[in-house]
Amino acid sequence: MRRINKNVFFIVVVLIAVFALLTFMGVSTTYADIETKIIKSVDDIRWGIDISGGVDVTFSPPEGVEASSEQMDAAKAALEMRLVNLGITDYELYVDKADYDIIVRFPWQAGEEEFDPEAAVEELGEMAELTFREGYEMDDLGQPSGVTAENVIVTGDHVVSATVSYMIDELTNEIQYGVSLELDSEGAQSFAEATSRLAESSGVISTWMDYDCISYATVSEAISDGKAFISGDFTYDSAKELADKISAGALPYKLVTSNFRVISATMGVGARNAMLIAGLIAFIVVCLYMIAMYRLPGVIASIALVGQVVGSIACITGFFGNIPSFTLTIPGIAGIVLSIGMGVDANVLTFERIKEELRSGKTINSALELGYKRAWTSIFDGNLTIVFVAIILMGAFGPPDSLLAKAMSWLYFAFPATIEGTIYSFGYTLLVGVILNFVFGVSASRLMLASISKFKAMRNPKLYGGVSVE
């Protein structure tokens, strides 16, 4: 600790301050009407169903259809992709193959006040089968008929990629959005043969999603490069929605909603606000107590606790724009509060050791070094126990296909898979908080205290709770 420079204190404080600013404010860029998140802010926290409200839905196959295990796995994979495309990354989804049910739970989307849960569920259950068909014939119900019903040129199974694209209208100079498709070799060959034949008679190719025609175009020349463009009256959002549906793939069968429940957020929001206010007040009181009891080390501990809280928030939002955010539930908030308590406990153990060393006549440097060294074993043992508990909770109540669940499958082999997001959230925030306690509550506070003690004005043992120098 004698080698630590005076400037280290200011460097650590500035790093924590910048980290806090980025975590709370975020960084984003906007191009036209598209916002790209570089660093997420607290506004990107995804609140759990118990706080923000959400949807609990059970999907089943149509009456008379007994889905195979492979079909249910395919439906699960397609639903997962659709949920991600909708911006819902914190869903709970599991399959009950005995009853042919797929259960999905997800919270309302952050910052989306007009979120329509019924529309979201309807979109999830659509087959979303893309087809290119010959002609543009349909019956009174708008479904394909005649040649159009009989001649399917290419299906969505042959689409390699679907992306939003646009072109500039030469007459109006306005942007027209659409979806660019790239076909595999088999699809490209079928598309080339059909367009070559239809080009001779200026035939029509129509594009269908399930049984709805979304566009049609007259074929003027053969298209042999395996690329197609779906045009229409699209906005960027509607074009992206279509591209996402195509990318996710079609469901093997139509999903029927057998149980649908919208969970109110009124009680949860009140509980969340109460917990946040109580947590803030408790945080301030704890900081004032530590400053009053331990003086300078108490100030250092308060700065380290700020870093620990900010780190917990960053791990929940994902911090970086390309990392999915984590669902924060009321038990998750409790996990953060508990981990802060562990951080306070670690500081109290250390500072009491430092006071003891100072009162026994040790110098400032020796007292700091011995205080941290002798408190380390107790801090490590206590936090390690909490880490084990958090890992067990995450393994037992997390998604069955998660890394922890797979690693601990030997422990739960006799029990059915259980997904309980609130308990999983508690385990996650507790685990993150304890790890951050080692980073900020132990390492960062030690660096700051050792650094600031190099200043002559900070060499008085009274500032550390010791006996004042006469």
CA torsion angle 332 338 340 341 (round to 10): 170
In a domain, 306, yes or no: yes
Q: How far apart are CA 82 and CA 245, in angstroms?
A: 7
Does 108 share its domain with 146? no
Query: What is the Cα–Cα distance from 68 to 58, expressed in whole angstroms?
Result: 17
The alpha helices in 200-295, defined as continuous H runs, are 236-248, 266-294
Q: What is the pTM of this model?
A: 0.62
Domain end residue (candidates: 213, 238, 263): 263
* Position 444 in a domain: yes
Q: What is the distance between the alpha carbons of residues 219 and 199, in angstroms, rounded to a whole number?
A: 5
Same domain membership, residue 416 and residue 271: yes
Do 87 and 59 share a domain, yes or no? yes
Which two three-digit tokens encode residue 417? 């898979």
Residue 357 domain boundaries = 7-32+265-464
CB of 145 closer than 8 Å to CB of 225: no
Question: Which of 220, 249, 278 represents a domain boundary (last residue)?
Answer: 249
47 falls within a domain: no
Same domain, 412 and 375: yes
Q: What is the pLDDT along the chain (470 residues), one digit of tens a residue?
A: 557 788 899 999 999 999 999 998 888 887 766 777 888 888 888 777 777 777 888 888 888 788 888 888 888 878 887 777 666 666 778 887 777 888 888 876 545 556 677 777 877 877 777 888 999 898 888 888 988 888 999 988 888 888 888 888 777 788 888 888 899 999 999 999 999 998 888 889 988 887 788 888 888 888 889 888 888 778 888 888 788 777 777 778 888 888 888 776 655 667 677 877 888 888 899 899 889 888 899 999 999 999 999 999 998 888 876 666 777 888 888 889 888 888 888 888 998 898 888 888 888 888 888 988 888 988 898 889 999 888 888 877 766 556 665 666 656 554 544 445 667 888 889 999 999 999 998 899 999 998 998 888 888 888 877 655 44
63 and 159 belong to one structural domain: no
Query: And the tokens for 124?
Result: 């999830």
Q: Are residues 374 and 440 in the same domain?
A: yes
Eight-class DSSP state of 464:
G
CATH code, domain with 169? 3.30.1360.200
Kindly state whether residues 172 and 270 are assigned to the same domain: no
Instruction: Compute how many other C-beta atoms are within 10 angstroms of the C-beta atom of residue 419.
Output: 17
Alpha carbons 99 and 414: distance in angstroms, whole number: 20
The count of domains in the chain is: 3
Establish if 45 belongs to a structural domain.
Answer: no
The reply to whether 203 and 219 lie within a common domain is: yes
CA distances in angstroms from 465 to 89, 291, 297, 355, 367, listed in the order given:
49, 10, 9, 6, 11
Judge whether 37 lies within some domain: no
Q: State the CATH number of the domain containing residue 113.
A: 3.30.70.3400
Q: Are residues 298 and 234 in the same domain?
A: no
Structural domain ending residue among the three candidates 235, 263, 291 = 263
112 and 238 share one domain: no
**Residue 381 resides in a domain:** yes
Helices (H), 295-420: 296-317, 330-359, 364-397, 403-407
**Residue 445 and residue 315 in one domain:** yes
Q: Give CA–CA dist 41/23, Å, rounded.
A: 5
- Amino acid at position 74, single letter: A
* Look-up of token digits 């002559």: 456
The CATH number linked to 336 is 1.20.1640
Are 158 and 118 within one domain?
no
Cβ atoms 102, 59 nearer than 8 A: yes
